[in-house]
Every structure is written in C-alpha cells, then in structure tokens.
Amino acid sequence: MADPLDELAGAEALLRQTVEDALQYLASLDERPVRAAATDAVAQGFVGDLPEHGLGGPPALARLASGLDGAHASAGPRFFHFVTGGGTPAALAADWLGSAVDQNSFSWVSSPLGAQLEATAVRWLLDLFHLPPTWGGVLTTGATMANFTALAAARGWWAEQHGVEVDRDGLAGLPAAPVFSSGHLHPSATKALAMLGLGRERPVRLQVDDRGGFDVVALEAALRRLDAPAIVIANAGEVNAGDFDPIEAVADVCQAHRVWLHVDGAFGLFARLAPETGLAAGVERADSAISDGHKWLNVPYDCGFAFVREPARLASAFTLAAAYLPDDEHPNFGYLGPESSRRARAFAVWATLAAYGRDGYRAMVERHLRLARRVAAQVEAADDLELLAPTRLNIVSFRFVPPGFAGDLDRLNEALGAAVNEDGRVMFGSTRYRGVAAFRPAITNWRTTEADVDLIVEVVRELGATLAAQAVTA
Ligand SMILES: *Cc1c(COP(=O)(O)O)cnc(C)c1O
C-alpha cells in the first residue's frame, strides 16, 4: 500500500527529481521537434485500469516524465497553432510556487496573498491595456470563461432595462435577447451565450465583406429598427488573419442607443501595447472587455481576464451567500466570477508583470509583430505562396499556390497542412478563410525568434513542392 502520508519523508527527493525532469525538458525545447514521430503512440500508452495498489510517487512520476514525447512542444518557440503562448520564466516559476503554496483564491479569509495579488494584478492589467482604473475585473480560467463572465454582467444590465433581476429571478418573462456582432465573432462567445441561456444562435452577424469586419451602417439601422436594449460584441483580433472590428465606429453607434458593448480581445487587446498599430483603439469606451493570460501574456494555463466598467455588475451575477462564508471589505474574487474555490492564478500574472513590466511586454509584442511582418514578406516574395490578408497583427494568413498547378488547390493545401504538422519542425493550423483552405500561423510565444519563424515558409515550400509533384504525377 502507498499511503501518501508514508511518502512525507520522500517528498523532497521526489520534487527535486521532478524539477530536474522539467528543466531537462525545458532545455530541449529549442531543439526538439514540435511533434515527435511517436507522439500519438506515447500519449496513447497512458491507458489501463485504476491501480488497486499504488506504485508510489517516484515510479509514478518516472512513468509520467518518460511520456513527455506524447505532448506537443507547445511551450516552445515553433508551435504556431491556435494562438498559443508559453510561460515566461517568471510566470512559470511563480506558477510552481503557487502550486506548492496551494492557495484557494476564493476569498481573503482563504488566501490573503491570493486575494491581494489578484486585486493588484487586475489593476496592473487595466493599466497595461490603458483601460480606466475605475473598471473592475476578475481572473478566469481563460477567454471563454472571461466572455461568459463579462456577458453575464451584460445579461444583468439588459434584463434590468426590462425591469427584471435576472440573476435573482431568471429569464422568465424576458424577450429573446438581441445580440449583434460581426463575422469575426469567436465561437467561445457563442458558447458563453449558450451557457447564459441567451442562445448560441442569437448573434446577428453584420459584416461588410468576406473578411468579416463589422458593418456599422447595418448596425445603426438594426439598432434603430429594434428600438430596445441590445448587446453588441465587437472583436479585437480575429483568429484567421488577426483582423479587428472598427471599435471606435462601433462605439459611436452604440453610444446613441441602449447598448452594452462588449469587446472580445482574447489576444488582440495586446495591440494596445503597440499603439502605433491603431488597431484596438476605442476599447476603453466599451462596457466590458476580456483577454487571455495563457495567450499573449505568456503565463501557464489556465488564465484569462474579464473587465467591466461597473464592477458591481460582477457581484450581482456571481455573489454567493451562506452563514459560514466571509462577508467583509476585502477583495473576495470567488464572489466576482463563476468559480468559488479557485487556483491562485494571480501568482503567475503578478510575477510576470513585476518581472518584465510595461516595457518588457511592449518589446515582446512589438517583436512578434515584426516577426509576423517578416513571414508575410517572405510569403509575398515567394512565387508559390499567396498572402490572403494584410498582416496587421501576429497572424499570417496564406496558402500554397504552385505556378501552373491545375489540380484542386484546397485539397493540396489541406494535405500540406497535415504534412507540415506531421513533419514536426513547425506546427500551425489550417483553416478555411474567405472560402479557401489556408494556413494561419500565429506568433505569440516569448521564446520565438527569426530563425524559428523562417522555418514556416521554408517547410511549407519544401513539403509543398513534393506534394504538388506527387499530385501532378498521380
Ligand atoms: C482563444 C480565443 C478565445 C477563447 O479563449 P480560451 O482561452 O481558449 O477560452 C476567445 N476569443 C478569441 C478571439 C480567441 O482567440
């Protein structure tokens, strides 16, 4: 039998060994393939039944550490799939420490340090993003839950316009909620609307063209016709090309109507660190905005942020009361977001902001924007590649178009996307953008350098030439 208490004396040795294993893995990140040939098989090796008698800590951890090839090296510099950050040294170290201290960041009573770090982290993030210091906020598990949290506040406001206290009494008696957005709307926002009982299919997408940007003229007309309170979701950073809705223009329209304006800036809010892009101007005029920590802030999973103009709206949606629960003047974030007992994710947020500050983050974001433009220039210079959208942020949208190729370009690009990921030198996603199969590498990791991004075009052209020749001779 392996009772954890019997391992008390061995715990230190186990943790030291695990630090060794973790350091060895991290040291391999710059060299190791993003995806090893055996990745799936290694991952699928972790099957089997619940042990009746435990192995004990050291053998169990040794087994786990032997299986890290089953993970994609998404913490490393050449994983360009989704919009994935890594963990800065300070964030990772603080996250380790946070796990060791194992705080319940529910309330001041459960964790004074967790509560204070979160209050400070929220204030620092508002400052980092140039949002008003009078706004409130809360850390969440990610942008999906941040959208849920902010849209819960939006739902409370909207119901109040109809004389209903929705958080107390529910949705009964309310009309269907009018929700407007653009073609850039992220599926996590529709997931949040579903969880809130507002309906996944409610958003009306008003878009000017096949790139999806907000049609503000149509929005003005729709709101005038509606003549009732509405929720509008603007998008700062669309996942296929990094596009932005014209947030100032959307805010101008919303200002003249009864609207809760929410901005999803899961990664795009970081454009406010590089104001010369002009992309995320106007977010400060919204009623709520969200972003992700585990994307461009480069803190470990899981971390996101929800911000609202009127902090009391969060308490209205997420309060909980019981005789044994604290009721005091301290920050109690378990009352301001969907989770009650919760990880002290502010350890990592506070530490990375303390370590690198505003100028460190600005330097990182600006480096990523330069790297994205570098890839875009390589795409434009190649006669077998086609840029599908201007590179305004950190995502490069392109496809492989070999001269003289008479076959099906979508099938070729889909096969090429799969071949790139199988190859493992770099990894990024395929998508459908403006009606065609496309690639969308996103540059978000703090470790990424020029040599890393140069592999994107190199690998695509190398594998593409082989595939195109096979397709022609087939
Ligand atoms: C990634 C993303 C989300 C969802 O974020 P999670 O952290 O995965 O929950 C929402 N909106 C946008 C625009 C995103 O890019």
Query: Tens digit of pLDDT for each residue in 195-239?
Result: 999 999 999 999 999 999 999 999 999 999 999 999 999 999 999
The pLDDT of residue 326 is: 75
Q: Report the C-alpha gap between 366 and 282 in whole angstroms.
A: 20
Best substitution site from 84, 144, 148, 151 to test ligand 1's pocket, by max atoms within 8 Å of Cβ? 144
- Tell me what percent of the chain is helix, strand and coil, each rounded to the nearest 5: 45, 10, 40
Q: Is 299 in the pocket of ligand 1 (CB under 6 A)?
A: no
Residue 274 lies in a domain: yes
Distance 133 CA to ligand 1 centre (A): 24
Burial of 386 (0-12, 13-18, 19+ CB in 10 A): middle
Model confidence band, residue 437 (pLDDT cutoffs 50, 70, 90): very high
| Tens digits of residue pLDDT in 112-131 | 999 999 999 999 999 999 99
Closest atom of ligand 1 to CA, residue 294: 7
Query: 376-431: per-residue pLDDT in tens?
Result: 999 999 999 999 999 999 999 999 999 999 999 999 999 999 999 999 999 998 99
Cβ-based neighbours of 52, under 8 Å, separated by 6 or more: none
Q: What is the DSSP string of 358-416?
A: HHHHHHHHHHHHHHHHHHHHHHHH-TTEEE-S---SSB--EEE--TT--S-HHHHHHHH
Mean pLDDT to the nearest integer, 281-305: 98
Q: Residue 191: which pLDDT band, with cuts at 50, 70 and 90?
A: very high
- Ligand 1 pocket test: pick from 186, 290, 296 the residue with the most ligand atoms within 8 Å of its Cβ: 186
Tokens matching residue 159: 């119901």
What does the pLDDT read at residue 474?
62
Supply the mean pLDDT for the chain: 96
Residue 238 DSSP one-character state:
-
> Does the CB atom of residue 427 touch ligand 1 within 6 A?
no
pLDDT at 270 over 80: yes
Confidence of residue 260 (pLDDT cuts 50, 70, 90): very high
pLDDT score of 116: 98
Query: How far apart (Å, rounded) are the C-alpha atoms in residues 98 and 105?
Result: 11
Mutate to test the pocket of ligand 1, among 151, 188, 302 (most ligand atoms within 8 A of CB): 188
Q: Count structural domains, the chain.
A: 1
Is the Cβ atom of 148 under 6 angstroms away from ligand 1? no
What is the domain range of residue 290?
Answer: 92-355
Q: What is the pLDDT of residue 473?
A: 66
Predicted TM-score of the model (pTM): 0.97
Q: How far is the CA of 299 from the centre of ligand 1 (A)?
A: 15
Sheet holding 436-439, edge to edge: 385-387, 398-400, 436-439, 430-433
**pLDDT-above-70 percentage for the chain:** 99
Nearest atom, ligand 1, residue 147 CA: 10
For residue 364, being part of any structural domain is answered with no
Residue whose CA lies nearest to ligand 1 atom number 12 = 266
> What sign results for the dihedral spanned by CA atoms 271, 273, 276, 278?
positive
How far is the centre of ligand 1, averaged over its atoms, from the C-alpha of 188 (Å)? 6
Instruction: Tell me, yes or no, whether 192 lies in a domain.
Output: yes
pLDDT-derived band at 352, boundaries 50, 70, 90? very high
Strand intervals (E) in 141-265: 179-181, 204-205, 230-235, 259-264
| Cα 219 to middle of ligand 1, angstroms | 24
**Is 67 a member of any domain?**
no
- CATH number of the structural domain spanning residue 261: 3.40.640.10
Residue 448 lies in a domain: no
Residue nearest to atom 5 of ligand 1 (CA): 143
Q: Establish whether residue 143 lines the binding site of ligand 1, counting it when its CB lies within 6 angstroms of any ligand atom.
A: yes
Does the beta carbon of 429 sit less than 6 angstroms from any atom of ligand 1? no
Residue 322 clears pLDDT 80, i.e. is over it: no
- Evaluate: CB of 95 within 6 angstroms of ligand 1: no
Q: What are phi and psi of 165, to 5 degrees?
A: -90, 90
Closest CA to 420 of 78, 147, 185: 78
- CB of 267 closer than 6 A to ligand 1? yes
Asked if the structure places residue 457 within a domain, the reply is no
* pLDDT bucket at 320, cuts 50 / 70 / 90: confident
Ligand 1 centroid to Cα of residue 322, in Å, is: 33
Q: What is the pLDDT of residue 164?
A: 98
Reading the block at residue 441, the tokens are 């590498």
Q: Is 304 in the pocket of ligand 1 (CB under 6 A)?
A: yes
How far apart, in whole angstroms, are the C-alpha atoms of residue 244 and residue 237? 5
* DSSP-H helix ranges across 196-327: 216-226, 247-255, 312-318
Nearest CA among 302, 316, 313 for reference residue 346: 302
349: its two tokens = 């947020």
Residue 82: inside a domain: no
292 CB within 6 A, ligand 1: yes
Query: Is the confidence at residue 327, as pLDDT, over 90?
Result: no
What is the rounded CA–CA span in Å between residue 442 and residue 445? Answer: 9
Kindly report whether the peptide bond that precedes residue 408 is cis, defined as omega within 30 degrees of 0.
Answer: no
Q: What gap in Å lies between CA 428 and CA 409, rounded to an integer? A: 18
Atom of ligand 1 minimally distant from the CA of 146:
9
266 Cβ inside 6 Å of ligand 1: yes
